[in-house]
Structure 1
Amino acid sequence: MMPSFFIAHGAPLLAIENNNYTKFLNQLGQDLPRPKAVVLFSAHWVSETQMVSRVDQYSTIYDFGGFDPSLYTIQYPAGGNHDIAQEIEELLTKNGISFQNETTRGLDHGAWVILRMLYPNADIPVIAMSVNPMLAPEEQYKIGKALSVLRTKDILIIGSGGTVHNLRALKPTDNGEADSWAVEFDDWLSQSLQNWDLPSLFKYASLAPNAQLAVPPYGNEHFVPIFYAMGAADNDRKATLLHRSFRYGNLSHSVWQFG
């Protein structure tokens, strides 16, 4: 059975960097069994209703500004898959989850930055999915759980975001050191995930140390993809931390495997 993943997409510059994290993601793509398709929940696609892509071929969205000009020349022309999108819609319907189709939107950098490192040839179909940070974590988990059967069909489910993501707290220089408050939050999260402690995880905002710094209310869209990815492995409750590092003092680069 294919595992599901939560993968941090970091800052846009990650797309052109060569560091331990990018090397890890490159290797991860080679180590995993080749998936039939990738279903990806991106922190940069926020909507009140669950959106499901029905795109033949994706354009590349540059949803950032002021970065190295070379970033704006990157293309990731992955194709979609209407049959798998249809299956996703049927699973959502079966579980009482409302949704809408999206037929024109391209892949945002929350999607293509990591997909390009995992599968640089853009030759694996992608079904892009939105996230709703206004939902309760239980409901986000439920959406992922509704799609768990896809893992038995060699379909890879990814939540893309960041466990610690507070742009206002980032440091202008990167000396390789991590702020203690970020590490404390991530340590709490790590223990809770490995214990599959859903009651605590669903109340992370009040229980986790430094939660308001690590996951500010105005930026929780980067944290919540972890619940979609985790829910997709509800029938195989195992969480494994494959990589963790920090940039700019507190921006987390973490990869969690579920299942």
Structure 2
Amino acid sequence: MIPSLFIAHGAPLLAIENNEYTQFLNSLGKTMPRPKAIVLFSAHWESSQQKVSEVDSYSTIYDFGGFDQALYQIKYPAQGNQQISQEIQNLFKANGIPFEVETERGLDHGAWIVLRLLYPNADIPVISMSVNPQLKPEEQYKIGKSLSALRANDILIIGSGGTVHNLRAVKWADNEVDQWALEFDDWLAHHLHNWDVESLFKYDSLAPYAEYAVPPYGKEHFIPLFYAMGAADNGQKATLLHRSFRYGNLSHSVWQFG
């Protein structure tokens, strides 16, 4: 059964950089079992009700400003898959999860940066999914859990965001990693390895420096972790594949679940 993944998408510049992290993602895409399709929950698609893409061919969304012009020339022309989208909708119905179908939205940079680094040829069908920061972590986990059966059919479920993501705290010149970021991420790693969902669901009150690592205005980047983790509830094994930091505290971490 193919695992699910949580992948940090970093800053938009990651799309045109060649560094330790981009090289890792390039390698991961080549060494993992090739998925039949990818279901991706992106931090940059927020909605009050779960959205499921039913798109034949995705446009590329440039949902950022002030960066190198080369970023705006990138295209990632991924295709959708109507059959798998319908399968997701059926699983949501069976599990009592409200949802809406989206037929036009393209891929935001939280999706296409990760996908392009893993699979640069854009030759694997993608089903794009929204996230809802207003839900409790238990509910986000439940949404992921409802899709766990897809993994048996070699469908890769990805949550794209960042475990430490506070844009007001980043230092755009690379610096030594801030201690608060390390302490939060170490706490997170300990409880993920133990699959301690009781503590993880209360991360905002239990984890050290949670208010810095996951500020209230930035929860959308943390919560894709719960969707990806829930998708492996039938496996309950967490493995840290990569961890590094940029700009003093912006995390580049990849977790494998299942």
TM-score band (shorter)?
A: over 0.9
RMSD across aligned positions (CA): 0.4
1:171-210 matches, within 5 Å, as 171-175=171-175, 177-210=176-209
Superimposed CA distance per residue, residues 27-68 of structure 1 (whole angstroms, 9 cap, x where no aligned partner): 000001111000000000000000000000000000000000
1:52-71 matches, within 5 Å, as 52-71=52-71
TM-score by length of 1: 0.99
CA distance in 2 between counterparts of 1:147 and 1:118 reads 22
- Counterpart of 1:27 in structure 2: which amino acid? S
CA distance in 1 between counterparts of 2:254 and 2:226 reads 13
Superimposed CA distance per residue, residues 88-108 of structure 1 (whole angstroms, 9 cap, x where no aligned partner): 000000000000000000000
CA distance in 1 between counterparts of 2:188 and 2:238 reads 11
TM-score by length of 2: 1.00
CA distance in 1 between counterparts of 2:61 and 2:157 reads 21
What is the SS of the residue equivalent to 1:89? Answer: helix
What are structure 1's unaligned runs of at least 5 residues? none
- Counterpart of 1:253 in structure 2: which amino acid? H
CA distance in 1 between counterparts of 2:188 and 2:34 reads 29
1:9 matched residue in structure 2: 9
Give runs of ≥4 in structure 1 deviating > 6 Å: none
2:129 matched residue in structure 1: 129
Q: State yes or no: 1:82 paired with 2:57.
A: no
Superimposed CA distance per residue, residues 119-142 of structure 1 (whole angstroms, 9 cap, x where no aligned partner): 000000000000000000000000
1:246-257 matches, within 5 Å, as 246-257=245-256
What is the SS of the residue equivalent to 2:57? Answer: coil
What are structure 2's unaligned runs of at least 5 residues? none
1:220 matched residue in structure 2: 219
1:211 matched residue in structure 2: 210
Post-superposition shift, 1:172?
Answer: 2.6
2:239 matched residue in structure 1: 240
CA distance in 2 between counterparts of 1:152 and 1:114 reads 22
Superimposed CA distance per residue, residues 190-220 of structure 1 (whole angstroms, 9 cap, x where no aligned partner): 0000000001000000000000000000110
